[in-house]
Amino acid sequence: MPAITLKSPAKINLYLKVLGKRPDGYHDIETVFERIDLCDELTFSPIPDRIVVKCDNPQVPCDQRNLVYKAAQMLKDRYAIPSLGVEIILKKNIPVAAGLGGASSNCAYALRGLSELWGLKLEKHEIFDIGSEIGADVAFFLLDSGRAIGRGRGEILEAVPKGESFRYLLVNPGFPVLAKDAYKSLNLGLTPIPSHSKINPASLEAIMFNGLKGLVFNSLEDPVVRMHKAISEIKSEITRSGLSVVMMSGSGPTVFGAASSMKEALDAKERLALKEGWQAFIASTLW
């Protein structure tokens, strides 16, 4: 069978409220996922027996710690296909441990690619169940929707019907933030709970650019900013560039600024004063 190549998109969280810690050690959240067109690329080539993962970014482990590797191993074990193997080449454009869901997306698209490569003909719910076992955000990337509400650990999803597309300027400071560290630093007793805590697909389908300012919220932003002052510096720089809707995505450290048009996003990027190590990206909603 010929090689299969898939694009693996990033996400941002337009809204992320941490509700409390669960008995299993995870946290219950309420979030709005937004898929964006900043993408990695995965190429799957058939080989006998083994799982081989290669990546052009040295920050990314290529062994059992990699969610792509875990996805392949789980499929081999669950569906008893020891004779089939794969070489997976991962080209990274999404920064690592950046609050953009790169690893979860790679895992989701590995499940899709391997199901095709190995002729497993899995139903959507089977792939969804496996993805949810591996990581909470994986489920969103298996949902064919550009925007969705996530609850529970993020795996209980409500797709939002296709609505307005938004443009974003994203700035990453060049260092990783692990989600476990972000959650560990969160003091739920001191976290401000916004009045707009009830979100639903109908309101999000209808949302326009001028409604974003009333939506964006992130419980994790303040604790991560306390650990990394570069995030507040990036927020100030994006605001200075002309964008007023600015928020850290997920567990950080990437910060996004929403723009009313592609021209406004590009103009803001031109005005940015990037410090050493910072990276800037332009992205749009990917439906």
Which of the residues are catalytic? 11, 137
Question: Residue 109: in which H helix or E strand, if any?
Answer: helix 102-117
Instruction: Give me the amino acid identity at 101.
Output: G
The closest of 150, 149, 147, 131 to 139, measured between CA atoms, is 131
DSSP state of 82: T
Kindly report the number of other CB atoms within 10 A of residue 190's CB atom: 8
Backbone angles phi, psi at 41, to 5 degrees: -135, 130
For the record, the structure tokens of 118 come out as 């190995």
Total length of the chain = 287
Q: 191: buried, middle or exposed (CB in 10 Å: 19+, 13-18, 0-12)? A: middle
Cβ–Cβ under 8 Å, residues 160 and 149? yes
For the record, the structure tokens of 80 come out as 């008893």
Sign of CA dihedral 142, 136, 216, 276: negative
